[in-house]
Amino acid sequence: MKTRQEGISLVGLILLLAVLGLVLVLGMKILPTYTEYRAIKNAIVTAKAAGSSAAEIQKSFDANATTGYISSISGRDLLIEKQNGETEVSFAYEKKIPLVGPASLLLEYEGTTAKAGVKPTE
């Protein structure tokens, strides 16, 4: 009597490890940009609360950017608008992550302090 063996073959294991390795490398490259994005979102909320004029908001953001290791944008890159009597701060930027040779990954980040997360209309 022959019994059928079950499990993963050596080729299947190598392919699985290659896919897991690729996902791990991508995650290690994307995680720092996402962490910076979250720091920027927190910094614009703090900057909005700290200042009433555009110059004060930009200065507060730049101070937070220094302590929060934010290098993708500065206070000058913020869009500061009055909307319904309230100051709203928003931003948008792209981050290009080189992968292999000419291949790269483009991430587009944006955020705002407006309620419901909707960017002010232009």
Instruction: Write down the H helix ranges in 3-107.
Output: 10-50, 54-67
The answer to whether residue 122 scores a pLDDT higher than 80 is: no
- What percent of the chain lies above the pLDDT cut of 70? 93
pLDDT for 17-28, tens place per residue?
Answer: 999 999 999 999
Block residue for tokens 């609360």: 49
| Count of C-beta atoms within a 10 Å radius of residue 69 | 10
- The model's pTM: 0.81
- pLDDT over 70 (residue 36): yes
For 20-24, 50-54, 67-71, 93-97, which range has the lowest pLDDT when averaged over its residues? 50-54
